[in-house]
Amino acid sequence: MLAAIFYQTSARRVPVLEWLRGMGKEDRKQIGLDLLRVQENWPIGMPVCKSLGSGIWEVRSNLSGGRIARVLFCLDGDDIIILHGFLKTTQKTPKHELKLARKRMKEVLK
C-alpha cells in the first residue's frame, strides 16, 4: 500500500487538510475513501483516478448535492504526495488548479 503524504508549505501549513476540514463530514469521508482506494489498489484507473499528464494524477470524488471534488497528487517512490484539492465547477480541470499542483510538485520533488 502506498503511503499518503500531504504537501506542506514552508510555513508548515497543510492546504489540502485545511480545505478538507472546511467540508462536511460525509464529504470528507467520501474523499478519504477514494484516496484510500488509490493507495490500496495502485495503479488504478477510471472512474476513481486519472492521469492529467506531467506526473500529476487526480482522484475523482462525487459528493452530496451533485458536487464533484478533485484531489491532485504525484508519486514519489511508494508515496502519494497530495498536492491540491478543489471542487470542480467546469467540465475541464481549470488551468490555475493544475498550475498550482505542478508548482507544489516541483517544490516537493526538488
Q: Which helix (H) or strand (E) holds 16?
A: helix 15-21
- Locate the DSSP E strands across 1-110: 3-6, 49-53, 56-62, 68-76, 79-88
What gap in Å lies between CA 39 and CA 4, rounded to an integer?
A: 7
Structural domain of residue 13, as residue ranges?
Answer: 3-109
What gap in Å lies between CA 45 and CA 52, rounded to an integer?
A: 12
Give me the percent of the chain exceeding a pLDDT of 90.
99
The CATH number given to whatever domain includes residue 59 is 3.30.2310.20
User: pLDDT truncated to tens, each residue of the chain (110 aa)?
Assistant: 999 999 999 999 999 999 999 999 999 999 999 999 999 999 999 999 999 999 999 999 999 999 999 999 999 999 999 999 999 999 999 999 999 999 999 999 98
26, three cell numbers: 460525509
How many domains would you assign to the chain? 1
